[in-house]
């Protein structure tokens, strides 16, 4: 029997055991939950939809509502304010939130807990090929969408272009990813930056309609960024991820994590975590990167303290 099926087969027994040991029941305490994701042109949104499907199958009658948002910064604020139960966020931005640093201006967010690290997100710099932009320095003087100010993308764009000494020279457009891609298709901007999973289906679509190039983060910039900020890792965009992209492109990545807010109780968190990682194949179908999750990767690079329910579910993951 395949491991995942074995785990599924054992699930009822585990849940009964959890009940017997006083760890809470085997049903969710509410019928409606909400998860904050990102733009519909991103990867967070379809992952939210996949989570909703998995939960619905496991707990008929339970709805997970998917909220479209600006991205990580807004998601952390929504969690803090109890407006959503869970959120997908970048781990670098979650770190700033728990430490009260950068955009969180000394206001630490203390009421959130970690569920799992999901997958790496790459800072992708996409430009219209006809601009001739080949390197970060060439972005100077161009109209570039650098993300909505409540996204994680915006901070990655700012940190990267500042290190490349070109931030001040760029004509910044504070657009969310969906609008940026639309503007790019209509020829109103020269490029955009988006921190997202690879490949991003909306960028594939765009590259079929407009000739695009991916701008590399040169190795010396990667080095500078990785030493200045602890959550970045050297990465690359393998050849042929996008139409017309024939060569591998050097890049940087951070990790996407799943976190919960004060409204999600320990037992609900346990049940949700258990479902998510009891069916890795189902979650993997929503994005190829999710099929690579392992027990170890679930806790790596997690800046938010794991919740007790999530911790228990992780410990039971074979
Ligand atoms: N990482 C992005 C952000 O928080 C969202 C990515 C996505 O939806 O794929 O700004």
Same domain, 83 and 163: no
pLDDT at res. 1: 35
| Pairing mode of beta strands 86-90, 249-260 | antiparallel
**Measured from the CA of 37, which atom of ligand 1 is nearest?**
8
Same domain, 190 and 109: no
Distance (angstroms) between ligand 1 centre and the Cα of 65 equals 18
The number of domains in the chain is 2
Q: Could you tell me if residue 205 is inside a domain?
A: yes
The CATH number of the domain holding residue 155 is 3.40.190.10
Distance (angstroms) between ligand 1 centre and the Cα of 116 equals 16
Q: Which of 89, 155, 160, 196 to mutate to test the pocket of ligand 1 (most atoms within 8 A of CB)?
A: 196
Cβ–ligand 1 contact at 260 (below 6 Å): no
How far, in whole angstroms, is CA 149 from its chain's centroid? Answer: 16
Report the C-alpha gap between 17 and 105 in whole angstroms: 44
User: Which bin fits 229, alpha (ψ -120 to 50), beta or left (φ > 0)?
Assistant: beta
Distance (angstroms) between ligand 1 centre and the Cα of 309 equals 26
Q: How many CB atoms within 10 Å of residue 105?
A: 8
Same domain, 109 and 233: no
Same domain, 263 and 250: no
pLDDT at res. 6: 38
Same domain, 286 and 250: no
Domain boundary among 237, 254, 271: 254
Q: Is the pLDDT of residue 13 over 70?
A: no
Domain boundary among 254, 279, 295: 254
Q: Which domain covers residue 114, as residue numbers? A: 11-119+256-315
Same domain, 249 and 126: yes
Q: Could you tell me if residue 113 is inside a domain?
A: yes
Cβ–ligand 1 contact at 231 (below 6 Å): no
Per mean pLDDT, which range of 11-20, 22-31, 35-44, 113-122 is the poorest? Answer: 11-20
Same domain, 203 and 242: yes
Same domain, 83 and 102: yes
pLDDT at res. 284: 66
Report the C-alpha gap between 207 and 228 in whole angstroms: 32
Distance (angstroms) between ligand 1 centre and the Cα of 244 equals 24
Cβ–ligand 1 contact at 199 (below 6 Å): no
Cβ–ligand 1 contact at 92 (below 6 Å): no
Strand ranges, E, within 135-248 = 143-145, 171-173, 191-196, 212-214, 233-237
Structure confidence by residue, pLDDT tens digits, 111-159: 999 999 999 999 999 999 999 999 999 999 999 999 999 999 999 999 9
Categorize the per-residue pLDDT at 16 as very low, low, confident or very high, splitting at 50, 70 and 90. Answer: very low
Structure confidence by residue, pLDDT tens digits, 209-229: 999 999 999 999 999 999 999
Distance (angstroms) between ligand 1 centre and the Cα of 41 equals 9
Q: Could you tell me if residue 282 is inside a domain?
A: yes
Q: For residue 133, which phi and psi values (nearest 5 degrees)?
A: -70, 125
Handedness of CA 199, 203, 208, 214 (dihedral sign): negative
Q: Which of 77, 89, 160, 194 to mutate to test the pocket of ligand 1 (most atoms within 8 A of CB)?
A: 194
Same domain, 231 and 147: yes
Q: Could you tell me if residue 6 is inside a domain?
A: no
Same domain, 102 and 168: no
Q: How many CB atoms within 10 Å of residue 22?
A: 6
Q: Could you tell me if residue 130 is inside a domain?
A: yes
Total residues found in the chain within this entry: 318
Same domain, 132 and 244: yes
Q: Which of 37, 42, 119 to mutate to test the pocket of ligand 1 (most atoms within 8 A of CB)?
A: 42
User: Beta partners for 145?
Assistant: 173, 192
Q: Could you tell me if residue 2 is inside a domain?
A: no
Q: Could you tell me if residue 271 is inside a domain?
A: yes
Q: Could you tell me if residue 99 is inside a domain?
A: yes
Cβ–ligand 1 contact at 38 (below 6 Å): yes
230 versus 75: the higher-pLDDT residue is 75
Domain boundary among 254, 272, 291: 254
Q: For residue 236, which phi and psi values (nearest 5 degrees)?
A: -150, 155
Distance (angstroms) between ligand 1 centre and the Cα of 27 equals 31
Same domain, 261 and 148: no
């Amino acid at each position: 029997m395949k491991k995942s099926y074995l785990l599924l087969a054992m699930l009822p027994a585990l849940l009964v055991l959890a009940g017997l040991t006083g760890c809470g029941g085997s049903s969710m305490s509410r019928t409606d939950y909400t998860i904050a994701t990102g733009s519909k042109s991103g990867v967070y949104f379809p992952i939210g939809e996949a989570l909703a499907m998995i939960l619905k199958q496991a707990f008929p009658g339970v709805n997970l509502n998917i909220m479209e948002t600006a991205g990580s910064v807004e998601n952390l604020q929504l969690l803090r304010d109890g407006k959503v139960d869970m959120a997908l966020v970048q781990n670098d931005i979650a770190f700033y939130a728990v430490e009260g640093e950068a955009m969180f201006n000394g206001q630490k967010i203390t009421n959130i807990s970690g569920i799992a690290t999901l997958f790496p997100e790459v800072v992708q710099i996409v430009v219209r090929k006809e601009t001739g932009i080949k390197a970060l320095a060439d972005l100077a003087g161009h109209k570039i969408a650098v993300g909505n100010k409540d996204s994680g993308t915006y901070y990655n764009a700012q940190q990267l272009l500042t290190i490349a000494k070109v931030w001040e020279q760029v004509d910044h457009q504070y657009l969310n990813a969906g609008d940026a891609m639309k503007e790019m298709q209509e020829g109103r901007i020269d490029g955009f930056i988006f921190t997202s999973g690879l490949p991003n289906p909306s960028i594939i679509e765009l590259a079929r309609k407009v000739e695009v190039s991916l701008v590399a983060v040169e190795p010396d910039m990667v080095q500078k960024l990785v030493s200045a900020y602890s959550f970045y890792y050297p990465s690359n965009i393998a050849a042929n991820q996008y139409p017309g992209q024939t060569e591998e492109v050097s890049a940087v990545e951070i990790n996407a994590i799943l976190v919960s807010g004060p409204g999600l109780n320990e037992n609900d968190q346990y049940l949700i975590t258990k479902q998510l990682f009891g069916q890795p194949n189902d979650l993997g179908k929503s994005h190829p990167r999710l099929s690579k999750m392992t027990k170890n990767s679930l806790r790596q690079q997690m800046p938010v303290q794991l919740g007790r329910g999530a911790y228990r579910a992780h410990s039971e993951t074979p």
